[in-house]
Structure 1
Amino acid sequence: MKRILITRPMPARVAEAARAHFDVEMRDDNTPLKPGQMRGALALYDGILPTLGDMFSADVFTEAEGSRCRILANFGVGYNHIDADAARSVGIAVTNTPGAVTDATADIAMTLILMSARRAGEGERLVRAGKWPGWNPTQMLGLHVTGKTVGIIGMGRIGQAIARRCHFGFGMEVVYYNRSDKQMEFEARQLPRIEDVAAEADIVVIALPGGAETKHIINAEVLAAMKPTGHLVNIARGDVVDEAALIAALKDGRIAGAGLDVYEREPEVPDALKAMENVTLLPHLGTAALDVREAMGLMAVDNLRAFFDGETPPNQVN
């Protein structure tokens, strides 16, 4: 029976499914693996089920040629914490869990759109602090979302799910930036540059994959193109946004607000963001629903099972 390391505690259903097929060791620690632990795991296990924060950089693979580990079955759709090219160079497959996360992540995007536009976080803090004086006609006036324009940066599965919710649920006009053309079942205009989307949209939502190609792609120039009444929402990866540039834009009032589920140096969140009332901060809740996390884990286990059965894993990325 193949020996598998699961790097974080998993829902019981996932652990049970893994143990039905493999000799499983599951850490009871929710902290990411350290580089030495990762190198040791490559030597000790046939496969590893890692997740966000387990930084399998190129350095980790430098002496992994011929190692016991043959597959990293990532728990999550984003795998920018794994150098997939370096893994492939030493004969290690990498898989992910797309599909399972799409709707849950799109739902969190809608949560952040509404919370940021309608100042929900600020209002909740006001009530909890006992400082709410009662209703009045000009109290906490925010942005009415229905009928506005949403700009989606990255029109993959998640971007399309967000656009669908905005269009059909809130009657929003959809503009988007994507490297390739997309066929949509509703009207959505593709624009040639991210700055063009930023300039036209009332709410800009980032749904790009992480990685070197997209790091800081939302920079000072993109933020400067946004409307002063605009809101930025990020449910992708933290380093897609230049956090320092975002803080500056918010401080200077060049954009109206932001809703963030991810951060550049997660779990570190800059004090400047925490101090701003017009910023909604969530603790990476994108897929935080039991049935979704179960589906992700079962998909990762299925990738492992297929690989060791001599099949091509259904979600191999390298």
Structure 2
Amino acid sequence: MRMRHLRYFLVVAEELSFSRAAARVHIEASPLSRAIKELEIELGARLLQRTRGRIELTWAGEVFREEARKMLTFMEGARSRVHAAARGYRGHLRIGLSDSLVHPRLTKLLAKCREEEPLTEVRIIEMPFKEMVQALGHDQIDAGFTVHSELGDEFIKKVAWTDRPSIAVPKNHPLLSLEKISLQEIARHSLILYHPERCFGGYSIIRRWFCEYALPMPSIAEYASGHESMMMLVAAGYGVGFALESQVKLYDHPDVVIRPVTDDVPNAVTFLALLDKPYSEQLSRFITRIQRVGEADIS
């Protein structure tokens, strides 16, 4: 079984079309179909059902899709670790980053890792929250950052740091007459909401706030994949958007005014999610550095 066969199959499983898949992997449709047939013969199972010009995954194909993803991830991780070892690294950490979290504290943390433990490679892998949970369960990452607080029993979460939410408002918007903005006021205006899949943590936090205060959700003007796209849409006048104070410092826009929310809106918490099992020495030291970075900001 060759690695290219796995990649070909995953592309076909995504496109459900040999012609589109062939265009993506830059080969003709005929050799691509032949490669999938060779894979089916080797596995002794039909992976694809071809009927009336349509392609569907069989149940065996559904199962193999997950296994193929695991194998490719494992091989890519092995290649990365070997390359890191060749460059002189003695340890490695794979850290997932979900919810489009671009954070000044994360920058400080990674800088401290390089300064204090230069022989441990720290790889940051951006992924949606649901993929991060799967990657943790399959030992594809060692830990992951998220603002989503609800995890299964097999996981534990540690508070990394907290942030005050704020509101991004277009210039000349009526909400700018307020010094602090409440959820009740926001509910009357169109909202740029974080995407429910690409930024699930931010999406779930905002919906929970309105639910806890028994407020109707504002009308959703657009979904944003992260803070930067949210600021762009706010600047264009599509609506208002929630932001973290720390991220506002990184992404500024001349056509957006930032207002604090009222004090009754709780802080947003960033968690480090981990499997409930013993940590490696590198991961234990990584957690200690997170605590130091958070404490330094409080003091």
TM-score (norm 2): 0.31
Larger RCO of the pair (alpha carbons < 8 Å, separation 6+): 2
| Structure whose residues are more often strand by fraction | 2
TM-score (norm 1): 0.30
